[in-house]
């Protein structure tokens, strides 16, 4: 169960690297592929980057 609640930094790096390679940036991925708007991006940033 613990494995489901943790994330391996190497896997996260690989995922972000793949997103940047395919889309150019995480912001472009979130807006173009997932359809997020400015308010949703701001919410994500406040939750995970501050």
Read off the pLDDT of residues 5-43 as tens digits, 9 standing for 90 and up.
888 899 999 999 999 999 999 999 999 999 999 999 999
pTM, entire model = 0.74
pLDDT of residue 7: 85
* Helix/strand/coil percent split, the chain, to 5: 75, 0, 25
Residue with tokens 């390679």: 21
State how far the Cα of 23 lies from the Cα of 17, in Å rounded to an integer: 10
């Amino acid at each position: 169960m613990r494995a489901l609640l943790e994330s391996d930094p190497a896997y996260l790096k690989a995922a972000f690297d793949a997103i940047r390679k395919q889309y150019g940036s995480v912001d472009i991925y979130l807006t173009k592929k997932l359809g997020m708007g400015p308010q949703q991006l701001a919410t994500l940033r406040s939750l995970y980057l501050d």
